[in-house]
Amino acid sequence: METSSKVIVIGGSWGGIQASVTILKGLPANYSIPIILVLHRLRNYDGNLQDVFKHKIALKAVEVEEKEMLLPGHVYLAPSNYHVLLENDHTFSLDDSELENYSRPSIDVTFTSVADVYAHNTVGVLLSGASKDGSSGLKHIFEKQGITIVQDPNEAEIETMPLAAIENVPGCTVMNLEQIQAFLLSLHDH
Amino acid sequence: MKLENEAHFEQDVEELIKEIHAQYGYDFSGYARASVYRRIKRFLGQKHLTSMDALRQALSTDSYFFEIFLQEVTVNVTEMFRDPSFFLSLRENVLPILSTYPFIKIWDAGCSSGEELFSLAILLKEEGLLDRTKIYATDINQRVLKQAKEGIFSAANMPAYTSAYYAAGGKQEFSSYYSSNYGSVKFDSSLVKNVIIYPHNLATDFSFNEFHLIVCRNVLIYFNRELQERVFKLFDESMVSLGYLALGKKETLAMSEISSNYNFVDKQNRIYRKIN
């Protein structure tokens, strides 16, 4: 299978699961761009995030496995207690180094790594959360001329993360969940 | 697609990897690059180095600086009883079998600063096996090896380690294993009296003994497929028949040639047993 020329990377913390389900449930099973989803979770918690998504979205939700190739039609979930990095050949690497912003997985780590590989073909989406994780990664995507989207803080369950990102990346686009979904659908290559 | 400055950085890293191999003998060519790039950028920031040229210059002239670099670029983050379900499974599924042997040899490969080593030792003690077990604890990094046997850890981590210990089936007061002193704690040194600390580089060194249990968790994620395969073969050569291999939660034997020699004892916790 061909690897995609674009990638979407979504980050969220408190309120991020519900927000990402709301966006992703509108995307078709054959959606043409791979999606990486980094959600903060309790450490050492083995509960299966896949099950949360399984019956709610058409795309295939899988936990990231190291050396696995990024492919369309999938939502790749960052595993608990590992950072997710992307290699130049579009395979995943996992990393258990220091927490970033008190988090592992950290949204900043994945946003930054993905933007280093995909540059302007990166679409970064930052959702609700009670953390400042994600804003420096989003800035990195912006600097590489990727697309940067932040959930409208008025709509977000917790506005801390969106507000921090808007402050750090003034050039980002603020959208509500419905608009984010419509935008992602507009990128879909039929 | 990749920006030019990023491509230059990556070329510089390849040059650096060759220079380090030639000068110091450490071979990073088989390391997964995404993590190497990230660690090097982080190191540049920490040391206020403004270019890769400055880093290469410093590393080529200062072997002490290289030691610090080695410690930062190889990931040494670890914790006691990480993934408590793994230690519980070791206690329930592996140690009862090992207890039938008169003498037990364990290899803790990539032991880092010793948190996993002390976790293993506590488990063995509680199952009555510590006195007849020899643990070989190895790491690429000589600086962290010095810490590994001392068992001095930050007191701030003890609440988290204590709950992980109980989740791993701990049988004592956890605090009975250590004494506190200001911001740190020191674990009972009798736990590691049968431990042999040994510098060993999985990328270049060979088999040095045979073991009943090899524990190597969250080390292989930093290697590419070829280097992973080298290490799996090394482990296979270093394993007694019916020995056990424990990997990290996100590591697998599935892609390896040796996988047909092994069965899962506990799939969730990535514990394998050699069957032939």
- Of the candidates A81, A95, A98, the beta carbon closest to that of B35 is on A95
Sheet order of strands, A173-175 included? A60-63, A74-77, A35-39, A7-12, A122-126, A147-151, A173-175
Tens-digit pLDDT profile for residues A10-20: 999 999 999 99
Tokens of A160: 């801390």
Nearest to B141 by CA among B185, B109, B116, B105: B109
Number of Cβ within a 10 Å radius of residue B64: 7
The pLDDT-based confidence of A47 (bands split at 50, 70, 90) is: low
Give residue for tokens 């364990």. Answer: B106
Contact call for residues B71 and B39 (beta carbons, < 8 A): no
More confident residue, B55 or A42: B55
Q: How far is A17 from chain B (nearest CA, A)?
A: 22
The pLDDT-based confidence of A48 (bands split at 50, 70, 90) is: confident
Mean pLDDT of chain B: 95
Tokens of A113: 């790594």
Contact B250 A82 (CB under 8 A): yes
Name residue B142's beta-bridge partners. Answer: none
Distance between CA atoms of A10 and A148, rounded to whole angstroms? Answer: 10
Q: Is A143 exposed, middle or buried (0-12, 13-18, 19+ CB in 10 A)?
A: middle
The pLDDT-based confidence of B4 (bands split at 50, 70, 90) is: confident
**Contacts of residue A119 in chain B, CB cutoff 8 Å?**
1-3, 6
Spacing of C-alpha B118 from chain mean position = 13
Distance between CA atoms of A178 and A31, rounded to whole angstroms? Answer: 17
- In this prediction, residue B1 carries a pLDDT of 52
Q: Which pTM does this prediction carry?
A: 0.94
- In this prediction, residue B202 carries a pLDDT of 96
Interface ipTM? 0.92
Residue range A115-137: average pLDDT? 97
Mean pLDDT of chain A: 94
DSSP state, residue B103:
S
Residue B78: pLDDT over 50: yes
The pLDDT-based confidence of B5 (bands split at 50, 70, 90) is: confident
Q: Is A183 exposed, middle or buried (0-12, 13-18, 19+ CB in 10 A)?
A: middle
Tens-digit pLDDT profile for residues B182-236: 899 999 999 999 999 999 999 999 999 999 999 999 999 999 999 999 999 999 9
- Of the candidates A85, A98, A117, the beta carbon closest to that of B2 is on A117
Residue ranges per structural domain of chain B: 4-73, 84-274
Contact A119 B2 (CB under 8 A): yes
Distance between CA atoms of B269 and B264, rounded to whole angstroms? Answer: 9
Distance between CA atoms of B64 and B41, rounded to whole angstroms? Answer: 19
Distance between CA atoms of A126 and B171, rounded to whole angstroms? Answer: 44
Q: Is A153 exposed, middle or buried (0-12, 13-18, 19+ CB in 10 A)?
A: middle
Residue A42: pLDDT over 70: no
Residue A45: pLDDT over 60: no
A39 near B CB under 8 A: no
Number of Cβ within a 10 Å radius of residue B4: 7
Distance between CA atoms of B163 and B28, rounded to whole angstroms? Answer: 36
Contact call for residues A133 and A100 (beta carbons, < 8 A): yes
Residue B3: pLDDT over 80: no
- In this prediction, residue A122 carries a pLDDT of 98
- In this prediction, residue A1 carries a pLDDT of 46
Residue range B89-115: average pLDDT? 97
Shortest CA distance from B86: residue in chain A: A44
Residues of A with active-site annotation: 13, 40, 133
Interface test with B, best of A65, A68, A97 (most B CBs within 10 A): A97
Domain B84-274 fold is: Rossmann fold (3.40.50)
Lowest mean pLDDT of A37-46, A88-97, A173-182, name the range: A37-46
Contact B35 A117 (CB under 8 A): no
A21 near B CB under 8 A: no
Contact call for residues A131 and A98 (beta carbons, < 8 A): no
Name residue A124's beta-bridge partners. Answer: A9, A148
Lowest mean pLDDT of A106-115, B120-129, B141-150, B226-235, name the range: B141-150
- In this prediction, residue A49 carries a pLDDT of 84
| CA trace torsion B260, B264, B270, B272 (10° rounding) | -70
Distance between CA atoms of B174 and B166, rounded to whole angstroms? Answer: 8
- In this prediction, residue B143 carries a pLDDT of 86
Residue range A48-68: average pLDDT? 92
Tens-digit pLDDT profile for residues B134-170: 999 999 998 889 899 899 999 999 999 999 999 999 9
The CATH architecture that domain A7-187 belongs to is 3-Layer(aba) Sandwich (3.40)
B3 near A CB under 8 A: yes
